[in-house]
Amino acid sequence: MSDQHGTIESHPLQQPEGVETFPPADAFRAQANVNDPGVYWRAAEDPEAYWAERARQLAWSKPFTEILDWSNPPFAKWFQDGELNVAANCLDRHVAAGLGERVAIHFEGEPGDTRTITYAELTHEVKRAANMLTSLGVSAGDRVAIYMPMIPETVVAMLAVARLGAAHSVVFGGFSAESLRARIDDAQAELVITADGGYRKGRVSALKPTVDDALALGGGGSSVRRVLVVERGGNEIAWTEGRDLWWHEEITAFDGDHSPQGFPAENPLFILYTSGTTGKPKGILHTSGGYLTQAAATHRDVFDLKPETDVYWCTADIGWITGHSYVVYGPLANGATQVMYEGTPETPDWGRWWSIIQKYGVSIFYTAPTAIRACMKVGRQVPEQYDLSSIRVLGSVGEPINPEAWRWYREVIGAGTAPIVDTWWQTETGAIMISPLPGLTTLKPGSAQVPQPGISATVVSEEGEPVGNGQGGLLVVQRPWPSMVRTIWGDDQRFIDTYWAKFGDRYFAGDGARLDEDGDVWLLGRVDDVMNVSGHRLSTAEIESALVEHHAVAESAVVGADDETTGQAVVAFVILKSQQTLLDAEDPDAAEAALKKHVAAQIGAIARPRQIFIVAELPKTRSGKIMRRLLKDAAEGKEIGDTTTLADTMVMQTISDRVRAER
C-alpha cells in the first residue's frame, strides 16, 4: 500500500466524465470588465509588471519604485518603498472623487431595522472613530482586538484602526472566552472593541460577557487596558469602571477632522487567526499595499463589479477572511455599494436572504456551498416566491461546490443564466487565487478552474514535480503574490515549516487538486481529508458529491476511518432532504443500502462506503465548515477531540452515540 500522507495519485475514478460546460453569454462577455483572454499571457509574461499596474489603481501618498523583494524567501515584500493609507483608499478617495453620496452600506439588522450609509457618512464616522482611538492611546504598530456582531460599527472600527496604522485582530463573535483570550494574548492587544450583544436567530446573543470572561481568565492580568462597547443588543451587561467605555458616549467628543497619514506598504494591516491541523491557532499576518491591491483587483475582476450600478452582497461574517477581503477591503476600495446583513438566513424564515436580494436589487451574490445546500434542503419553492431577477453574477467560496448544488444555484437563484464563480483561496492567500473570470471562462460545475492573471499555481507530485494534465497531486503556488501571508504572528519558524518546508520556494496550500485534460484545476479537499482505501486514493469531496447527487440527500460528510483490512474505509454521514419520500429515514438499513449502491454506481465499487449514518445534523464550525476530523474520531470509536469551535457542540454527542450503538 502506498503512503498515507499527503499525496493523491491520479485515479481514473476521479476523472469526471462528460462534464457539462457553460460558456459565457455573448451579452455578458461584451460588457465584462475582463473580456480579453490576452490578459492571462500578458500577466504571465511579467507578473510583477501586472501587479504594479493593479497597485497603481490605488492611491499612494508616496509612490513605490520597487515592486517585489524576494531576496529573503519566504518573506516577501511588495511595493515596500511606497506609502499609503488603507482606510483613505476605501473612503476619502471616493469622497474626493465626488462619490460621497453613493451608498456604501445598506445595513439590514436581523430584527428588521435598517440603515443606509453613504461613502461620505462612512468616511465621517471612521474619522471620528480614529480620533477617539487616538485619545485611547492607539497608534501605529499597536494591535486592537475586535469582537463584534455584523453591524456597520464593525467596519468603522476596522477602518479606524487601519487609518491609524495599527493592526486589527477580528475574532469571530461565536468564539468562546478561551479562544478570544488566546488570540488577545498572542497578539498582545491593548484594546478590545465589542458590543453588548447582537441579533442571531431572533434573539440577542451576548458578546460583552464573553469579553469579561476572557479577560478574567487565569486571574486576569491580560494586555488589555480598555474595552470599548458598542450598544446594539440592549442586553444587561456588567461594567468594569476604569476599563469599560461606551462607544456612543466616547465618540461624542470627537469631530470628523482627521488627515490620513501614509504608512509603508508592508505595515501590518491585520492578524487573523485560523486553525492549523494541530495545536494552537495560527495568527496569519497581512500587510497593507499588496493585500489591498489583490483584494481590490480580484473583487473587480472576478465579480465583474460595476461600482456605479451593481449592488453587491457577500454573506460572510467579518470574523472570517472572506469578510475581511470581500465585505470590507475589496468592495470599499472599489467604491462598491453593498448589503450587510446581521443575522442568520432562516430568521424569521428561509425567505430572508431572497427578500433582501429583492428589496435592494442585489446583482452580485457571494456565499458558501454549505449555505446553498441548506437552501436546497428547504426547497426551491422558497426562493421562487421572490423576484431575484437583479442577480447577474453568483459566487461560491469555502469548499468545493458539488455539481448538483452548482446547478441548483444557477437555476434557482441565477435564473439559469448567471455565471457562477467558484473561488478558491485561503486565509493565508488573502484574496482569490483560482477562479473563473465570468466574461472569459467556460464554466465547469465543481471546478475553480483557472489561476487569476498574475498568479502561478499548479499541481505537483509529492516530490514536487508538476503532474501535468489529467493528473492529481498537491496544489502549490509557484511565485509570491501581493496578498500573501507575510508570516505567522510571532512565529516565523512555524510559517516556514507549515507552508514552505515541503517545496522550498513554492507555497504548499495543504489542498489536493487535479488538473483535467484542459488544465483546469479541480480542488479535492484538504490533503488530510484524502483517503487511502486499499491503496487507492479517494477524495472525501468526490464521494460527498456523489452522495449529494442522490435525489434524497441534502448534505453529506465523508471520512476515511482507520480499517484493519483496507487501511482506511469510507464512512459517510448523510442528512436526508426533509421532503424526500424515496428513502425512509425510519428504516436506516434500507436507506443505507440504497446509498451505498448509489455511490458504488456513481464512482465505482472501491468508493462504496463501509458504513453510512443517517443523521439530523453535521458538526460544523461557525463559518460552516464541516469538521471531518471529529467525524473521523467518531467513526473510529475514539474519544471525540476538541469541539470548542463547533457552532453547536451537542451535534457531536448525538452522532457519537449513534455510531457507538452500531459498533
Position 340 contacts ligand 6R9 (CB under 6 A): no
Give the DSSP H or E segment for 78: strand 77-78
CA distance 474 to 71: 26
- Residue 313 CB, nearest approach to ligand 6R9 (Å): 17
Report the 10 Å Cβ neighbour count for 202: 12
Q: Rounded to the nearest whole angstrom, what is the least distance from the CB of residue 49 to ligand 6R9 in the complex?
A: 27
- CA distance linking residue 582 with residue 589, whole number of Å: 14
Residue type, 540: T
Distances (CA, A) of 268 to 162, 193, 292: 9, 19, 12
- Provide, rounded to whole angstroms, the least separation between the CB of residue 76 and ligand 6R9: 19
Q: Minimum Å distance from CB 502 to ligand 6R9?
A: 15
CB atoms within 10 A of CB 586: 8
Q: Which of residues 113-132 bind ligand 6R9 (CB under 6 A)?
A: none
Q: What are phi and psi of 20, to 5 degrees?
A: -80, 135
d(CA 458, CA 475): 6
- Could you say whether residue 423 binds ligand 6R9 (CB under 6 A)? yes
**Minimum CB distance to ligand 6R9, residue 17 (Å):** 21
Residue 478 near residue 44 (C-beta atoms within 8 A): no
Among the listed residues 352, 526, 620, 628, the single contact to ligand 6R9 using CB under 6 A: 526
Q: Is 274 in the site for ligand 6R9 (CB under 6 A)?
A: yes
**CA distances (Å), origin 636, targets 261, 381, 568, 595, 629:** 56, 39, 10, 21, 11
Which backbone phi and psi does 304 adopt, to 5 degrees?
55, 45
Q: By C-beta, is 157 or 523 nearer to ligand 6R9?
A: 523
> Is cis: bond before 619, omega within 30 of 0?
no
Neighbouring-strand partners of residue 571: 559, 611
Our finding on whether 322 is near ligand 6R9 (CB under 6 A) is yes
To ligand 6R9, the closest distance from the beta carbon of 290 in angstroms equals: 17
Q: Please state the φ and ψ torsions of residue 155, each to the nearest 5 degrees.
A: -65, -45
Report the residue number, 99 or 374, with the smaller CB distance to ligand 6R9: 374
Interacting stretch for ligand 6R9, rule CB under 6 A, among 52-60, 83-91, 333-341, 422-430?
422-430
Binding residues for CoA: 200-203, 322, 534
Residue 131 or 179 with smaller CB distance to ligand 6R9 = 179
Q: Which residue's CB is nearer to ligand 6R9, number 424 or number 507?
A: 424
Determine which helix (DSSP H) or strand (DSSP E) holds 558, and give its type and residue range: strand 553-563
Among 78, 175, 425, 489, binds ligand 6R9 (CB under 6 A): 425
Does 448 interact with ligand 6R9 (rule: CB under 6 A)?
A: yes
**CA 467 to the chain's CA centroid:** 28
Residue 412 DSSP symbol: I
- From the list 231-239, 255-263, 421-429, 639-647, the region that binds ligand 6R9 by CB under 6 A is 421-429
Closer residue to ligand 6R9 (CB): 10 or 325:
325
CB of 545 to ligand 6R9, least distance (A): 11
Helices (H), 522-649: 540-549, 588-602, 628-635
Three-class SS of 146-190: EECCCCHHHHHHHHHHHHCCCEEEECCCCCCHHHHHHHHHHHCCC
Q: Which residues contact 394 (CB under 8 A, 6 or more apart)?
A: 364, 365, 366, 409, 410, 413, 414, 418, 419, 420, 421
Q: What is the 3-state secondary structure (H, E, C) of 342-355?
A: CCCCCCCCCCHHHH
Comparison of 523 and 630: residue with beta carbon closer to ligand 6R9: 523
The smaller minimum CB distance to ligand 6R9, of residues 529 and 592, is found at 529
**Looking at 321, 533, 603, 631, which residue binds ligand 6R9 (CB under 6 A)?**
321
Applying CB under 6 A, which of residues 424, 481, 489, 613 lies at the interface with ligand 6R9?
424
Three-state DSSP class for 104?
strand
Shortest Cβ 106–ligand 6R9 spacing (Å)? 24
Q: Where are the extended beta strands (E) located within 304-424?
A: 311-314, 337-341, 364-367, 393-397, 420-423
* Interacting span for ligand 6R9 (CB under 6 A) from 121-129, 295-303, 417-425, 487-495: 417-425
Under 8 Å between Cβ of 615 and 658: yes
Using CB under 6 A as the binding rule, the residues of this chain from 341 to 370 that contact ligand 6R9 are none
Q: Which residues are annotated as a binding site?
A: 200-203, 322, 398-400, 422-427, 511, 526, 534, 537, 548, 550, 553
Q: What is the CA radius of gyration of the chain?
A: 24
Asked if residue 613 binds ligand 6R9 (CB under 6 A), the reply is no
Cβ count near 549 (within 10 Å): 16
Binding residues for ATP: 398-400, 422-427, 511, 526, 537
Residues 371 to 410 in contact with ligand 6R9, rule: CB under 6 A: 397-400
Binding mask 486-525 for ligand 6R9 (x = CB under 6 A): -----------------------xxx-----------x--
CB of 274 to ligand 6R9, least distance (A): 5
CB nearer to ligand 6R9: pick between 119 and 312: 312
Q: Which is nearer to ligand 6R9, 85 or 435 (CB)?
A: 435
Q: How far is the CB of 81 from ligand 6R9 (least distance, A)?
A: 30
Residue 110's nearest CA partner among 242, 222, 202, 193 is 202
Our CB check for ligand 6R9 shows the closer of 142 and 520 to be 520
- Binding-site residues for Mg(2+), please? 548, 550, 553
* Residue whose CB is less far from ligand 6R9, 147 or 425: 425
Of 110 and 422, which has the nearer Cβ to ligand 6R9?
422
Q: Could you tell me which of 293, 353, 281, 262 has the C-alpha nearest to residue 319?
A: 281
Compute how many other C-beta atoms are within 10 angstroms of the C-beta atom of residue 521: 24
Return the C-alpha cell found at 501: 518546508
Across the strands, what pairs with 62? 83
User: What whole-number distance in Å separates Cα of residue 343 and Cα of residue 149?
Assistant: 9
Work out how close the CB of 420 gets to ligand 6R9 at its nearest, in angstroms, rounded to a whole number. Answer: 11
212 or 399: CB nearest ligand 6R9: 399
Query: Would you say 322 or 334 has its CB closer to ligand 6R9?
Result: 322
Asked if 583 and 606 touch (Cβ cutoff 8 Å), the reply is no
Of 614, 618, 533, which Cα lies nearest the Cα of 580?
614
Q: How far is the CB of 221 from ligand 6R9 (least distance, A)?
A: 32
Size of the site for ligand 6R9 (CB under 6 A): 19
Nearest to 299 by CA among 267, 338, 260: 338
Q: Are 34 and 450 in contact (CB under 8 A)?
A: no
289 counts as binding ligand 6R9 under rule CB under 6 A: no
- Partner residues linked to 559 by β-bridges: 571
Give the footprint of ligand 6R9 on residues 555-574 (CB under 6 A).
none
The nearest distance, CB 478 to ligand 6R9, in angstroms, is 17
Shortest approach of ligand 6R9 to residue 321 CB, angstroms? 5
Q: Which residues bind ligand 6R9 (CB under 6 A)?
A: 274, 321-322, 397-400, 422-427, 448, 509-511, 523, 526
